[in-house]
Amino acid sequence: MEINLFNDSGLVPQPKHKVKIEDFRVTPYPDRFRVKVNLKLTPFLERPNLVITAHRSDGLQVSDLDVIATMHYDNEFTMHIRGVDNPAGDYRLTAELYYETRNPAQDACQIEFAIPADDR
C-alpha cells in the first residue's frame, strides 16, 4: 500500500526561507460591509503567520486580521469593514507573512480596491 502525503498537483512544501505570498485578491460582497480575501502562499514545511489590514484612502484602519501558524497555503477569509457609516470608497489591503518577527516581514503584498456606492 502506498500513502501519498502530498497532493498530486506537483506542489512541494518549501522551507520557510522560500515561503512567500503567491497570490492576493479581494472581492467586495454585495452588502458592501464585507470583503472576501483570497491569499495563496508557497506550500510550506513550517507554518507561517499572517497579518492582513484594510485601510480607507484617508488612512483610517477599517479591518485587521491576525492568523497565527496557518495550516493552509490556500486561504480564504471574510473581513468586515468597521467604523464607517457608509463603506463606499477606495481602500488598500495589505498582507504580511512572517515567522519569528514581523519587523521586517518576510514577504508583504498590497492591493487597492473600491467599494461602490449603494445604488438603491
Question: What's the whole-model pTM score?
Answer: 0.88
CA angle centred on 116, ends 77 and 96, rounded to 5°: 35
* Separation CA 120–CA 113 (nearest Å): 21
Sheet holding 61-67, edge to edge: 61-67, 49-56, 89-98, 107-115
Cα–chain-centroid distance for residue 10?
23
Cis peptide before 30 (omega within 30 of 0): no
* Separation CA 40–CA 54 (nearest Å): 18
DSSP state of 8: T
CATH 3.30.420.40 fits 16-115, yes or no: no
Q: What is the pLDDT of residues 14-72, one digit of tens each?
A: 999 999 999 999 999 999 999 999 999 999 999 999 999 999 999 999 999 999 999 99
